[in-house]
Chain A
Amino acid sequence: MLPYLLVAPALFVVGAFFLVPLGFSVVGAFEGPAGPTLDNLGRAFGLYRTDLLFTLVIVAASTLLTGLGAIAIGGYLTLGRNRTAVRMLAAMYRWPLFIPFIVAAQAMRGFIGQNGLMNNTLIWIGLMPQEWAQSFLDWRGIVITFVWKQLPFATLLVAGAMAALDRSGIEAAQNLGAGRLRILLGIVLPQVARNVMVALVLSFVTMMSVLSVPLMISGQSPTMLTVAMAWRINSLGDYGTANALGLVSCVLTGLVAWIWLRQAAQERGGRGQGGGAT
């Protein structure tokens, strides 16, 4: 009995300040002035279809780029032959790890604007004529900020898994003359695929609920669902539609997590059979 009593206060905090409001959000999505209704969901889809698509494209693109970046950096950290270069990369990639999104957004805002430091530097070095300078403060800016912020986290998980691999397989392939890219794609990546997926699903969920970045990087419409929800609450006091939008984003992340879990389960089943055959 005692152990359960010891866990109870912590469970209460999560229950009262996360689970109950989460339940409210689901119920609220179907709440109308005259009893249960589907109006909220209808309004959410009717008014915010573009924003929904926009959110999906942005978050999917950011997740994909984060994954590619993490595999590339992790791969170089594992297979890189020059120790100085590996050490330099390892020292650099982590910096944004704990930097909050709102700080990332503020830092990016001045960096990627039309007269931002990025364009100014490229023009100054002579890599780009003045006329090419354009502002990235739109959906691309959101993607850049998301990748900048999430890449260290994903890389940490992926590179950690790669470093823990048994090196004999890699060495055997190297002795047979396989190139590094082939080793990365054919030997290293399949063994850490699960870790890559964990990193990407967690990144996907995190990015789905960030409000500050779309708010600060790109104010124009279409925008992300989080901004739409905040607007529904702050300007209209419309909890019904906001909760319907919240439900949609929860279902979306739930779907992503479910696909991941299913794939992970299949993979484990397949690997079990493979083990039996040998």
Chain B
Amino acid sequence: MSRDSVFWWLPRGLLLGLFAFFVFGPLVNLVLWSVAEAWFWPNRLPSQYGFRFWERVFRPQGQAMESLWLSIWIASLTTLLCLAVSVPAAWALAKARLRWRAAILLLFLLPQAFPNLPVYINVARIFFTFDLNGTVAGVVLVHAAHGLVYSIWIATAAFAAVEEDVELAARNMGAGPLTAFRTVTLPLAAPGIAASAVFVFLESLDEFTASYFVGAPEVRTLPLLLFSAAAGGNMQIAAITALILLVPSVLFMLLVERFLRAEVLAKVGR
């Protein structure tokens, strides 16, 4: 009997359907809440649909827009800071023969390998003495320490994937080391570096715990707004804020393979 027969699709379809329900159910729930103007028990679905809450969120002077721009601003600054320190570091880690290379690479992984909350509360305590608590700069610095693992590891892999012959060719044609880097190595590594920048940007955009301890209540990023809306029982505003955060995450998930070439991926962490 063929495995492609209708009979085999019964258990297969059932399992796939169940899995789809598990994966997409919560997301459908978010979408429903965002357009539900009235959803009370015992109604299984909203009894009234509309975009009233969307209008409220996207009102130009509304709190959500303010939080959205602030979050984007913080994520951009974090990305810039990470790239500024990572590009030189990654080049050195990929091309120069550093003695402590493995240990240095591992060091950048540490913020992902330890429970972060105890670190954040002490960052907040230290920042308090430097007046950095509740400032954009403070939040950017903490986000950057956490995002560096992506920018360093991926950018190092991207530089390592640039073959030495190409750089040597440029040098042989009379280019100085800096010119060779600027015109040959950097452009070739650029797609990988761009991918790492997206990782850092998303990590900062989505970050909750550090912002909660270091930024709140003065710096109100989108995740903090989502949290307070949810805590205040405002399901619609919370759902819409969650959807705004969801869109870039899902887009990146769908596109990440195009960003990161296999040659670069194979060298990550090496």
Contacts and interface: CB of A to CB of B under 8 A. Distances in A.
B30 interface: yes
Contacts of A10: 85-86, 88-89, 108, 148, 152
Given A7-B93, A17-B141, A106 B104 contact: no
A21 interface: yes
Contact of B25 (A4, A24, A111, A215): A111
Given A3-B92, A7-B92, A96 B23 contact: yes
Interface residues of A, number: 79
Q: Which of B24, B115, B212, B231 has the most CB of A within 10 A?
A: B115
A205 B122 contact: no
Contacts of A104: 26
A50 interface: no
Given A9-B85, A120-B44, A253-B114, A17 B227 contact: no
Interface residues of B, number: 83
A262 to B, nearest CB: 16
A153 B107 CA distance: 22
Contacts of B230: 105-106, 109, 216
Contacts of A94: 253
Interface stretch (B58-66, B162-170, B188-196, B235-243): B235-243
A211 B118 CA distance: 11
Given A7-B93, A95-B253, A21 B123 contact: yes
A98 B117 contact: no
A102 B226 CA distance: 8
A106 B141 contact: no
A124 B249 contact: no
A243 B215 CA distance: 20
A249 B226 contact: no
A274 to B, nearest CB: 25
A6 B16 contact: no
Interface string B36-65: 000001101100000000000000000000
Contacts of B25: 111, 117-118, 121
B112 interface: yes
B242 A106 contact: yes
26 contacts: A2-B96, A3-B98, A7-B104, A10-B148, A10-B152, A14-B108, A16-B145, A92-B19, A94-B253, A96-B23, A98-B253, A100-B207, A102-B245, A103-B226, A110-B26, A110-B239, A120-B44, A206-B112, A208-B115, A209-B114, A212-B208, A216-B227, A243-B121, A250-B114, A250-B115, A253-B113
Given A110-B33, A249-B115, 11 more contacts: A10-B86, A14-B111, A22-B122, A82-B3, A92-B24, A96-B23, A98-B252, A118-B25, A120-B45, A121-B21, A124-B44
Interface of B: 3-4, 8, 12, 16, 19-30, 32-33, 41-42, 44-45, 81, 84-86, 88-89, 91-93, 96, 98, 104, 107-108, 110-126, 141-142, 144-146, 148, 152, 202, 206-209, 212-213, 223, 226-227, 230-231, 235, 238-239, 242, 245-246, 249-250, 252-253
CB-CB nearest 8 A-B residue pairs: A246-B118, A100-B206, A3-B96, A107-B26, A209-B115, A17-B145, A3-B92, A21-B122
